[in-house]
Amino acid sequence: MYQPWTVKYKPKTLKEVVGNKEAIQKFVEWVKSWDRGIPPKRAAFLYGPPGVGKTVTVEALANDLKMELVEKNASDYRTEEAVKRFAGLASQYGSLFGTKRIILFDELDGLTGTADKGGVKAITDITKTAQCPIVLIANNAFDPRFAFLRNYCLLIEFKKPSTTDVLKHLKGICLKEGIEAEENALKFIAQRSEGDIRSAVTDLQALAQGKKRLTYDDVSWLGFRDRQETIFTVLRMILYGKTCEGAKRAVDMADVDTDMLFEWIYENVPAHLTDPHDLARAMDALSMADVYRGRIRKTQDWSFVRYVVDFMSAGVAMARVNTKTSGWTPFRFPERIQALSRSKEERAMQLEIGRKIKRRCHISATRAAKEVLPYLRIIFKNNVKMAAGIAKWLDLTPEMIEYVAESKEKAAAINKLLS
Smallest gap from residue 324 Cβ to ligand ATP (A): 38
- Using the rule CB under 6 A, which residue among 17, 214, 279, 286 binds ligand ATP? 17
Tell me if 52 contacts ligand ATP by CB under 6 A.
yes
Which of 90, 197 has the CB closer to ligand ATP?
197
Tell me if 195 contacts ligand ATP by CB under 6 A.
no
- Using the rule CB under 6 A, which residue among 70, 135, 149, 201 binds ligand ATP? 201
Smallest gap from residue 14 Cβ to ligand ATP (A): 10
Tell me if 193 contacts Mg ion by CB under 5 A.
no
Tell me if 57 contacts Mg ion by CB under 5 A.
no
CA distance 389 to 131: 81
Nearest to 23 by CA among 59, 51, 52, 3: 52
Tell me if 10 contacts ligand ATP by CB under 6 A.
yes
Which of 52, 372 has the CB closer to Mg ion?
52
> Taking CB positions, which residue lies at the least distance from ligand ATP?
53
Tell me if 171 contacts ligand ATP by CB under 6 A.
no
Q: Report how many residues bind ligand ATP under the rule CB under 6 A.
A: 21
Tell me if 169 contacts ligand ATP by CB under 6 A.
yes
Which of 51, 354 has the CB closer to Mg ion?
51
Which of 105, 304 has the CB closer to Mg ion?
105
Tell me if 14 contacts ligand ATP by CB under 6 A.
no
Binding residues (CB under 6 A) for ligand ATP: these are 6, 9-11, 17-19, 50-56, 107, 139, 161, 169, 197-198, 201
**Interface residues with Mg ion (CB under 5 A)?**
55
